[in-house]
Amino acid sequence: MSRMTERRLLVIGAHSADFVWRSAGLIAAHTQAGGAARVVSLSYGERGESGELWKEPGQTIENVKRIRHREAEKAAAAVGADFTCLDLGDYPLRTGPEDVDRLVEIMLDFAPHVVVTHPDKDPFNPDHPVAHQVVQQARLLTSGAVVQSGFATAPPSEFLVFEPHQPELCGFVPSVFVDITAVFEQKVTAMHAMAAQTYLREYYSQRAEHRGNHARKVSGDSTVRQAEAFMRIVPNVVEGL
């Protein structure tokens, strides 16, 4: 499949494991169907999301980053994606104009059809809303004024957010369920790659089952066993319903 015809998916998380829990199934389904996927992490989550690694005597920030990079690369490979980390630091994640520019460059180079990131609210995690803001700004700058701009642009992408850990408190209302039944074992493999956060495996396995139940009710398709939920930020355009 040529670059011009393949569907391209870009998933951007605040921390290196965020894509695994929330969208590894989507990524696996996308690449299995012949699409290309990239994962960009704004940080490694080395300070706030690597507690197991800090139990090791003499542990260092740089070593934690190395481990987290290796884990994320392995997880991304399990679902057929490339992984990049911008290494901006976490807790707090702080971004500036130069970081927006880096994301714009990535989006211009990859020209994704779909961009997925965090919702804009999270009362329990200070980094997730920051990630949403910088991704939203970069996406808008990438598409420019749409009609005509005096700088390089890419076609507007679909824009969705993945399900946060506590959706009701983050203003998350699902508008898309992705059936991940056929690729669920790939998601499990990706989750097992993230050894620093083993405590999340059971939760997100259960969440996939819950969303699979919801997807069956919505679709009437009894073959759906596991699913992931997403919310559209920008309407999609179709030729009919």
Distance from C-alpha of 226 to C-alpha of 181, rounded to nearest angstrom: 5
Query: pTM (2 decimals)?
Result: 0.95
* 1: confidence class by pLDDT, cuts 50, 70, 90: very low
Distance from C-alpha of 100 to C-alpha of 106, rounded to nearest angstrom: 10
Domain ranges for the chain, please list them: 8-232
Q: Are 157 and 115 in contact, with CB atoms under 8 Å apart?
A: yes
Distance from C-alpha of 208 to C-alpha of 228, rounded to nearest angstrom: 6
* 10: confidence class by pLDDT, cuts 50, 70, 90: very high
5-9, 75-79, 173-177: lowest mean pLDDT where? 5-9
Query: What pLDDT digit, counting tens, does each position of 134-156 carry?
Result: 999 999 999 876 556 677 888 89
Q: Are 225 and 212 in contact, with CB atoms under 8 Å apart?
A: yes
Task: Write down the architecture of domain 8-232 according to CATH.
Answer: 3-Layer(aba) Sandwich (3.40)
Mean pLDDT of the chain: 95
Query: What pLDDT digit, counting tens, does each position of 199-234 carry?
Result: 999 999 999 999 999 999 999 999 999 999 999 999
Q: What's the pLDDT score for residue 2?
A: 47
Q: Mean pLDDT, to the nearest integer, of 98-126? A: 97
Q: What's the pLDDT score for residue 129?
A: 98
Residues written for the chain = 241
Q: Mean pLDDT, to the nearest integer, of 99-116? A: 97
Distance from C-alpha of 163 to C-alpha of 204, rounded to nearest angstrom: 11
Q: Mean pLDDT, to the nearest integer, of 30-54? A: 97
Q: Using CB atoms within 10 A of its CB, is residue 91 exposed (0-12), middle (13-18) or buried (19+)?
A: middle
Write out the E strands in 14-67: 36-41
9 pLDDT higher than 50? yes
Question: How many percent of the chain have pLDDT more than 70?
Answer: 95
Helix (H, G, I), strand (E, B) or coil at 71: helix
Stated as kind and residue range, the H or E segment containing 116 is strand 114-117
